Structure 1
Amino acid sequence: YVGELDTTQNTQTETLNYKFLHDRVQQAAYSLIPDDRKQITHLQIGQLLLLDASPSTKEEKLFDIVNHLNIGRYLMIQPSERTELAQLNLNAGGKAKNSTAYAAARGYFKTGIELLQPDCWKTEYELALNLHVAATEASYLNGDFEGMEHLAALVLQQAQTIFDKVKIYEIQIAAQTSQSQILEAIAVGREALSQLGVDLPDATDEAQIGKALQDLKEQLQGREIAGLIDLPVISDPTAIAAMSLLGMLFSPVLLGTPSLMPFLSATMVRLSLQFGNTPASTGGYAIHGMVLCAFLGEVQTGYEFGRLSLLLVERLNVQSMKCFTHALFGGFIQHSQEALRAALLVQKESYTAGMETGDFLQAGYGIQGCAYTSLFAGVDLDRLSAELPAYSAALAQVKQDSSRIYLDMVQQTVQNLRESVNQPHLLIGQFYDETVMLPKHQQDNDLTGIALAYSYKLLLAYYFGNYQAALDHIAQNKSYLMAVSGMTHVPTFHFYAALTYLALLPSQAEPEQAEILDRVASHETILHRWAQNAPMNYQHKVDLVEAEKYRVLGKNYEAGDCYDRAISGAKANEYINEEALANELAAKFYLNWSKEKVAASYMQEAYYCYSHWGAKAKTDDLETRYPELLRSILQQSDPSMTMFGTLATIASPAYSLHSSTRNSSSSSSINTTLDFAAILKASQALSRSIQLEDLLHQLTQIILQNSGCDRCALILPNENQVWEVRAIATPIAT
């Protein structure tokens, strides 16, 4: 018993509340109720709870009330009672959906539909429409596409206006896109927009697309982009519906007919200018920012539109659009002005927001964007390999096949970099099989999937020296590159394409070399434009292409300078992957110039960088190709060697003069040694010091300086050969 005593105006009342001492007691009591009395008992409890509930407690106890009434619903005879319970199920289902309890939500909506009268579409139209639309969405969120299509067809048949059908069209577009039914999704959108007076042109109608862009440019003349956030809130229902549908079409249009993207974005911005801002305007501004960056080369203006979209999400407080806008900004706009790694946080926020709000489609694209951004930015491959399977499983659970497949491409690329295989440029393994998937991408008209696959294949072919395969992948990818417009795959493609042509140039006949240099110049021009807007991401790539070009032209000193600039730029901006590549190419250059010692220095640094990145397959490749250049760091430790013998081995003249402070658990053949500069410092300390304490201090400080650690300990055997800690050092004291 739990009671409350209330004394007011000389009257004393007591609110009686009871609860079971334990769940098992409640279960025992419930088991004593005869089966033929359970329904009526639940019904009576539900009715009492509903009758006594205030508006606030009714919402709080909604699930309890509805669950009791649902069990006893078969005893309800009066149509008014059944209608009231149907409405309660609609409310409960909405509450469950908002809490991401999608299975429970679908159950409530289904029960609500069962409670409707046979002629509900005539007598209870609004309730019937809302329940069926909600049930359609819940079926999609639960991955029940067959049930979703059945309900969608029923709503489209019974709905009285186009506005009542819009949500169904949006659900169909999302479901078909997630299943890689790209052309079908676009067809649904085109049909729906035509009913709203918006004509979505054919992809080949360049005149209409150009006119839409020109009209918008005139409308924006003299306006501040940031000022568009202050447009009035839209009220026209036709414009609201059209904006919502156009926003849903972004993904299928990008995947299947990217040439329509400028029309899509221009139409959305034009409608916002004409009628005012709506939640869908946030997506429209982000899409237009992507178009300006990717298609029209107006990067600064595109970035401003991207920032506008994020600010408008906050201004309107539309969390349902956070996933979409962040996915677009992080995947297509941000890297054109900011460091590539900065996009990782935005893309993860997109995924989190989408999973919380049920926007699984864009959540999937957000996290696969985070995956390829991590790959290209040089994020540790071991960490990436550990994180990606969980995201792939989550996307599989919500049946987002399209984005999951894109994510699995990255997983397979990472695996090929970490584990040695015979043909690493083939995406065939645990996560992805190109022999199965590339024909499927072709069948589904999934142009983006094809472009992504060949981008990763090109990267792998070049990294592992299969330049002929890389050349084939360049040719295969050219036709599909538009499908990844605005993504970092575009400059990455031009980077590896230029390097591939330069790698093959010396083996070509002289007449063909001029043509190859022209192709290189074309790729380098595009790469240079990217570097002008985001030097932190692309300038070191331009420098490396320049170095390779000087190499083939025989300008050795210019080449050496460019190699060093590329290495320095990649290191400064944390591109460990491209720092490794630049060191490797510099090593090859010096080796061909017969400067073996210099070549060894660069090759060893490349080895350390690849190892630090986690590219075990690549370090294995270097060990096979250049064992002599790597001899000093591939020597296995000999436990019988004395400390001074070890020092002598480490100080071999062939050892790297670079500051090689990195180590990696991914390669067992790397000795944990100091670099040559540290050995020189140590020998100087020995020659100057005769006091043990002073000597230990200097040695430990040298170790700290060259290891990059915060603390170190020196452990030495005493006269009885028992190991003891002789010194502990920090950067401040020993």
Structure 2
Amino acid sequence: MIGPQPEVKQLPPVESLNRFHDLFGRFLACLASEKNPLILFIDDLQWCDSASFDFLANVFTNHLEYPYLFFLGAYRHNEVGSSHPLAKLIRSATETRCPLKEIKLEPLQPEHCHEMVSYILDSPLEKTKALSDFICTLTDGNPLFVTESLSYLYNEDLLFLDVDRQWRWDLDKIHESCMPTTVVALFCAKIEKLAPDLITLLEYCACSGNTFSPVELALNMGITLRDTYEMIKPALSQGLLIESKNQLQFIHDKVQEAVLSMISAERRRQIHWRIGSRLLSAIPEDQIDLEKIDNLFTIVSHLNLGREKDLDNKKAYLLSDLNYHAGNKALASLATEAANDYFNLSLELLPSDCWEDSHYNQTFLIYKKAAKTELMCGNYQKSEKLLNYLLQNAKTDLDKAECLAEQTTTLSSIGNFIKAIETANRGLAYFGKSIPASSAEADQKRQELMVDIAAKNIDVWETILNMPFTTDRKSKIELAFYSELIPDLYLSGLVPQLYLAAALSTQHCLAGGMDESVIYSFSIMGLQLGEQEDFESAFRYEDLARELSAKYPNTFGATRGMNGIVWCNMHSRSHPREIVDYCLKSIQCGKNCGDLFNAGLSYGPLMWNLQVQGADLTTIEHYAKECLQFSKRYHLSFSVGLAEAMQAGWIEPMKKHYSPIAMEEKVKQWEQDNHIASAGSYYIHMALTHYYFGEYEKAEEYLVGARKYLSGLTDNVLKRQWHVFRVLNALKLL
């Protein structure tokens, strides 16, 4: 419809998930319009995977964006416990007052069961009452059970038409019969009367799932498609199977359950292995990329269910490899938990000689991915255990650094900055460039590096601006550490270490290791040089970061670079109005490329500079609400704090009839999470509020309280406001 599309750029885990939710959400909003409202119905919600529930949770959270969408979902409440993802989704939607209504369908009442039996038999209610009472008691008012009970009675000649074409039955004979007491048993009784070949075919159908392809069924059975349809006709005529859009499916999952209950565990295993093997053998020999195979999950699922307890090494490596590729495919589809299951099974299947040279590379990749997905699923200890085992067995320092780099990216993506810094430092140690924990030692190393950079006697800025991107593996791994480490150090308030990391990154770029991912480091170079009052060099680094961001637009590197500029550099020589404009560009850049975390961060200096500019309070409030809505939608806790701090510290106190907002617990949480900018913003803006209202003693309390956050604020506009109003307030107190 829209033609071939370019490959989707790979993003870190959380950003990738946010991009999908954003894109699919906008697509859904386009389909559901005022002129064309949309009803979306999903059946059997109890079987949805966690990725589907994540998306539904996102829809509920942002329900105001879908005013013309009517979502209907059906599920079996007896299969959904309190810990089920659906139960959690319903609780969350209810607690947040989302527009949700639950309608629970109870079993048929006796009178309704009577009406149903009377209608099916086309007989008066008084005539069918005794039979209806029996069936109602037997079925507990389950409509499917009612219809199948009548069908069973007919097939057993216990329900028949007389010469006048009226239904007749003998209730005493029915009571004396061995009538099944469950709907599954009823279906079993019906299936047992079928031909043996058809029962075998239904066994393959049941092992294939609720829905299956006739073509694949013929392949699995080793017969022609025509013979398949001929064989299946009785099952279609008796209402066990139905056709739907070139697919076959069981009329009800209870039919599938009935067939499965008739198969022994060993035979079921053999059927699964045969199905998986046949599907695998049908893959063209020239199909190199297994992850592009449409039915890869189906193949792997059958082989996993059909594998023997003790596989020989050849089969074990094959199945381990297939699970690895299925894990990659699931991860690319944002099904993190499913991917984690595949990677863990891939690990479990590896034979004892897996770390030998012939299998080393694949084993390394499997462990690396398993450590990543365990972390993404919140299993920190298991992830750390896998990572340490991987490091013990990795053959080269570069391999060890590579797996630590990927782990660092994942930790940063999920917001665990302290652990990300620790992991990055472990990785940089393999390059002899770890960042000292001591501030004094870090500053000493930074000074030595700055001298070394200055001694090169080259135009640093032009050299970097025109430097081609590196393709060297070692260089790219080192850059990966800097691209994550520098933002994490900034947000954690570790200033001496931040400045050292920026200098290391710059030195690495000058040695030929350039990449757009480290643009941010040049804004930090500008920041530290500005603090040393070397403004000429500081401005050149700021310009370098600007030019590189413009040269590589809509990339993670550009978003981080622009974000660094508005947080660290622009306020030294730009009007607040210019900073506001650049903040808006930075936010849009982040939204365009999927770096929503840094897009959210740019709202901070946007709101602060609007306040400095003296913008209308409604304008600041508008952006604070936008930031809050955007950040909550994508679970960006850091920028949620920036919006909340601005609302509580500046916007609300400036309104008439203001009632103080209790922020003690919130500030403690920010401190615990190392969200220094939010805590500092709240204290400094509260100080400004009290100053403007002439409450100088109160302003002094907040100015003093803000002091402990200053080191983490570096030289941004908040810190400068603190210095200015510290003096102004002191004069008022004289």
TM, length-normalised to structure 1? 0.55
- Distance in 2 (CA, whole Å) between partners of 1:89 and 1:480 is 48
| CA gap 1:135/1:312 in 2 versus in 1, 3 angstroms | farther
Match of 2:324 among 90, 102, 115: 90
Are 1:49 and 1:65, in contact at CA under 8 Å, matched by a contact in 2? no
> Which residue number in structure 1 is paired with residue 304 of structure 2?
73
Q: Which residue of 585, 590, 594 corresponds with 1:346?
A: 585
- State the aligned residue count: 478
Q: Are the counterparts in 2 of residues 334 and 343 from structure 1 also a CA contact under 8 Å?
A: no
> What residue is the counterpart of 2:508 in the other structure?
271
Distance in 1, matches of 2:369 and 2:592, equals 20
CA distance in 1, matches of 2:465, 2:228: 53
Q: For the residues of structure 1 that align with 2:565 and 2:426, how far apart are their CA atoms?
A: 29
Q: Which residue of 1 aligns with 2:355?
A: 121
* CA deviation map 1:191-237 (0-9, x unaligned): 43233111534311343322211221233x44262452332443554
Match of 1:140 in 2: 375
Give 5+ residue unaligned stretches, structure 1. 4-13, 509-734
Give the 3 Å change call, closer, same or farther, for CA 96–297 of structure 1 in structure 2.
farther
Query: Within the alignment, does 1:452 sit opposite 2:452 as a pair?
Result: no
Q: Is the 8 A contact 1:135 1:151 kept in 2?
A: yes
Would the aligned equivalents of 1:286 and 1:309 in 2 still touch at CA under 8 Å? no
1:702 counterpart residue number: none
Contact 2:649 2:683 in 1 (8 A): no
SS in 1 for 2:355: helix
Q: Does the CA contact (< 8 Å) of 1:82 and 1:115 recur in 2?
A: yes
Change beyond 3 A, Cα 1:282–1:43: farther
Contact 1:258 1:483 in 2 (8 A): yes
Q: Which residue of 2 aligns with 1:297?
A: 535
What's the % identity of the aligned pairs? 19
User: Deviations along 1:579-602, whole A, 9 cap, x unmatched?
Assistant: xxxxxxxxxxxxxxxxxxxxxxxx
Shift of 1:353: 5.8
Contact 1:66–1:85 under 8 Å retained in 2: no
Question: What is aligned with 2:626?
Answer: 387
Return the offset for 1:280.
4.0
| CA contact 2:272–2:306 (8 Å) conserved in 1 | no
Whether the 8 Å CA contact 2:562–2:586 is kept in 1: the answer is yes
Q: 1:465 to 1:87 in 2, by over 3 A?
A: farther
Asked if structure 1 preserves the Cα contact closer than 8 Å seen for 2:408 and 2:420, the reply is yes
Aligned to 2:112: none
CA RMSD of aligned residues (A): 4.3
CA distance in 1, matches of 2:516, 2:405: 15
- Describe the superposition over 1:299-335 as per-residue Cα deviations: whole angstroms up to 9, x where unpaired: 4313222124324645xx9x45455334324433455
Structure 1 pair 474/176, CA: closer, same or farther in 2 (3 Å)? Answer: farther
Query: Residue 38 of structure 2 aligns with which residue?
Result: none
CA separation in 1, counterparts of 2:550 and 2:228?
Answer: 49
Q: In the alignment, what sits opposite 2:467?
A: 231
What is the aligned counterpart of 2:699 among 433, 458, 470? 470
**Residue 86 (structure 2) aligns with:** none
Q: CA deviation at 1:258?
A: 0.6
Amino acid at match of 1:344: C
Residue 210 (structure 1) aligned to one of 447, 469, 494: 447
- Greater shift in the superposed pair: 61-70 or 34-43: 34-43
- Measured in 1, the distance between the counterparts of 2:383 and 2:596 equals 15
- Secondary structure of the 1:275 match is coil
- Aligned partner letter, 1:72: L
Alignment partners' CA distance in 2, 1:97 and 1:51: 25
- What is the rounded CA distance, in whole Å, between the counterparts of 2:451 and 2:429 in structure 1? 22
SS in 1 for 2:244: coil
Report the alpha carbon displacement of residue 256 of structure 1 after superposing the two structures with TM.
3.3
- Asked if 2 retains the 8 angstrom alpha-carbon contact of 1:279 and 1:321, the reply is yes
Q: Is the 8 A contact 1:136 1:168 kept in 2?
A: no
CA distance in 2, matches of 1:348, 1:17: 58
Question: Residues 199 and 388 (structure 1 numbering): CA distance in 2 closer, same or farther, change over 3 Å?
Answer: closer
How far residue 142 of structure 1 moved from its aligned partner, in angstroms, is 4.0
Return the letter of the residue paired with 2:465: I
Cα pair distance change 1:85/1:239, threshold 3 Å: same
Residue in 2 aligned with 1:28? Answer: 251
- Answering whether residue 490 of structure 2 is matched by residue 256 of structure 1, we say no
| Aligned amino acid, residue 339 of structure 2 | A
Counterpart of 1:490 in structure 2 is: 719
Preserved CA contact (<8 Å) 1:392 1:404: yes
Cα 1:385/1:326, change in 2 over 3 Å: closer
* Conserved? CA contact 2:475–2:513, under 8 Å: no
Q: Which residue of 2 aligns with 1:324?
A: 560
1:416 aligned onto 2:660: no
- The 1:309/1:481 distance shift into structure 2, 3 A limit, reads farther
Cα gap change, 1:271 to 1:340, in 2 (>3 Å): same
Distance 1:114 1:209 in 2: 46
Measured in 2, the distance between the counterparts of 1:488 and 1:17 equals 74
C-alpha separation in 2, matches of 1:194 and 1:383: 46
Task: Flag the 1:297–1:158 CA change in 2: closer, same or farther, 3 A.
Answer: same
Question: Aligned in 2, Cα 1:387/1:143: closer, same or farther, shift over 3 Å?
Answer: farther
CA distance in 2, matches of 1:371, 1:135: 41
Shift of 1:263: 2.0
* Equivalent-residue separation in structure 2 for 1:287 and 1:15 (angstroms): 70
Q: Counterpart in 1 of 2:25? A: none
| Partner in structure 2 of residue 572 of structure 1 | none
Secondary structure at the residue paired with 1:120? coil
Q: Which amino acid aligns with 2:619?
A: D
1:144: how far off? 4.1
- Closer, same or farther: CA 45–189 of 1 in aligned 2, 3 Å: same
SS at match of 1:26: strand
Q: CA deviation at 1:186?
A: 4.0
Corresponding residue of 1:108: 342
Supply the AA of the counterpart residue of 2:251.
A
Contact 1:385/1:414 (<8 A) preserved: no
Decide whether aligned partners of structure 1 residues 313 and 130 sit closer, same or farther in structure 2, where only a CA change above 3 A counts.
Answer: farther
Work out whether 1:190 is the aligned partner of 2:425: yes
**Following TM superposition, by how much is the alpha carbon of 1:65 offset from its aligned partner in structure 2, in angstroms?**
1.8
CA distance in structure 2 between the partners assigned to 1:458 and 1:480 by the alignment: 14
| Structure 2: 5+ residue stretches without partners | 1-212, 216-224, 230-241
Q: Does the CA-based 8 Å contact 2:566-2:582 persist in structure 1? A: yes
Aligned to 2:388: 153
